Amino acid sequence: MSGGVILHRVMKMKKTAIQIAVLAAALLALCLVCRLAMDNTYMAGMPARGFRPEDVRFSMATPDVLDHGAPELREDWLRVPIHPRQPGKTFVEVWDGAGNDIGLMYFSVGRFGTVYDWTTGGFTGDSVVLAALTAFCLGVAAIMFRAYRGAKGPAFYAYGTIHAVGFSLFALLTGVIMLIVTLRHWLRPHEFIMLSAYSALTSAGWQFMLLTLPFVLAFAVAMSVSNVALWRHEGFSPKNVLGIGVGVFMALGEALAFFLFSRDFSGSEWEWRLWNTLCNVYAAGFAWFECMLIGAIVCGVKAARHVPAANADYILILGCRFHRDGTLTPLLRGRVDRAVEFWKDQRETTGREAILMPSGGQGADEPIPEAEAMRRYLAERGVPAEKIELEDQSRNTYQNMAYSKTLIDGRAPGAKVVFATTNYHVFRSGVWANRAGLSAEGMGSGTKWWYWPNAFMRECAGLLMNRVPQEAALLVVMIVFFGLLSVALG
């Protein structure tokens, strides 16, 4: 990959990271300002069970930690103002007028007068924090979606684009969930306590799985249908069941999550925390897989439908296997036809004649190089010989790009390049072009509906296999984050 391409990507990633960091810092500062500006009073609550507020009595284990104000009745809920006095912890027993014990609350007061309610998980200013978390999730979604929309031209073909799509969706759905949580806590804090809000936050992966369930089921069905059609046309083979395998994996993954989260659990608090953490970690890991798949599908479809600007100097045609008699398979013929179509359209609209560069060497079972087979077909299509240049040494997509770049740089440095390949192969080919330092945009030729999904799944698998360490590190970060969140918040 060229230094310019690397620098461009680093700058884009750095810009996105800086924007997210600035957003987090701004919201944190806002929370601190609001906390310092607001009254230290915390409003505790408990169900009102047929007694009057004026008859309620309180007994504190440590009286000098906090005071309470006059209780008030809101609907069927007793609200009690709690005023901090000094740091410490205390139990508060609540009695009715007849001396009956009607509840027990447990509070702690921090160094800055923040009251924490261990019974409900609430604390002074908790609504502001919920609002900030909601704003952060929605802000991250907006930043990452903007990064996706801003990925133009050759810069579009990058793993960062996949991440931007998938994780902007994750952040958006999490933000919507947090918005609902925040509104419910604001409107009816006695019914939707902070412990419920913590649960919604720590189980974001599970919530994401629930919301994307229709997509998963539709995807599994579509992959199965396309693979059955593929078997009928090409026969059964291991490579022709990848789509069904992925679909079944996703359906079983959702089913396992339903099983885990629906189980009743009995045990100590820490045993429950451990079980809850394991469930949330599983959901977070599966959500990562879904984010990558959704991102790859969106980017793959967009790349396949993209039409480059009509200003190309070179049109690179990526080769693949052909018939032993030298004629092209429908797959390879589609690539060449797409390139010729673009070549003719550009010539007619702009008068600019590009050079067609078939790229592909000779395999062990091929009588001639793939580039030569394509050259002969181009000649049959009426393309002048002087408008064709061959790259006939490459053996894979990366070499297609790297060897072609060497030839183009030697003949026309700075030339504008586009490449033609099959629709499902465009995005991954663009990634390889970037790695080879070739600045190029792709266009896709069509293929049978039953062939495209399975082939695209192979492309997705290839993309992940190219970055196992990096993607594994991202998965670990996501799992550790939600694991620690679950352990801390329960």
Domain boundary among the residues 91, 117, 143 is at 117
Q: Do 112 and 147 fall into the same domain?
A: no
Residue 150 belongs to some domain of the structure: yes
94 within 8 A of 46, measured Cβ to Cβ = yes
- Rounded to whole angstroms, the maximal C-alpha distance in the chain is 104
One DSSP character per residue, 149-212 reads HT--GGGGSSHHHHHHHHHHHHHHHHHHHHHHHHHHHHH-TTTS-HHHHHHHHHTHHHHHHHHT
Could you tell me whether strands 72-74 and 57-60 are parallel, antiparallel, or unpaired per DSSP bridges? unpaired
Residue 483 belongs to some domain of the structure: yes
- pLDDT score recorded for residue 490: 62
Integer Cα distance of 96 and 101 in angstroms: 7
Burial class (CB in 10 A: 0-12, 13-18, 19+), 29: exposed
pTM score of the predicted model: 0.86
- pLDDT score recorded for residue 2: 46
Q: Do 142 and 212 fall into the same domain?
A: yes
**Mean pLDDT (10-residue bins), the chain, 490 residues:** 49 82 95 88 81 81 89 81 93 82 88 90 92 96 95 92 94 93 87 86 92 91 90 84 89 93 78 87 93 93 95 97 93 97 96 96 91 97 96 96 97 96 96 95 93 88 85 89 81
Residue 181 belongs to some domain of the structure: yes
Give the H or E element holding residue 83: strand 77-84
Half-sphere exposure of 406 (CA within 13 A, CB side): 11
Torsions phi, psi for 314 (to 5 deg): -130, 140
Residues 122-154: pLDDT tens digits? 999 999 999 999 999 999 999 999 999 999 999
Q: Do 150 and 296 fall into the same domain?
A: yes
- 325-343 burial string, b = 16+ CB within 10 Å, else e? eeebeebbebbbbbbbebb
* Amino acid, single-letter form, for residue 219: F
Residue 73 belongs to some domain of the structure: yes
Residue 69 belongs to some domain of the structure: yes
Q: Do 149 and 228 fall into the same domain?
A: yes
Domain boundary among the residues 57, 87, 117 is at 117
Q: Do 183 and 100 fall into the same domain?
A: no
Q: Which residue has the tokens 């030729």?
A: 445
CATH, residue 68: 2.60.40
Residues 413-432: pLDDT tens digits? 999 999 999 999 999 999 99
Q: Do 251 and 148 fall into the same domain?
A: yes
Q: Do 88 and 209 fall into the same domain?
A: no
315 within 8 A of 352, measured Cβ to Cβ = no
Integer Cα distance of 228 and 201 in angstroms: 40
Integer Cα distance of 74 and 395 in angstroms: 75
For the chain, how many structural domains are there in total? 2
Residue 198, domain extent: 3-25+126-305+469-489
* Amino acid, single-letter form, for residue 418: V
* Helix segments in 94-125, DSSP class H: none
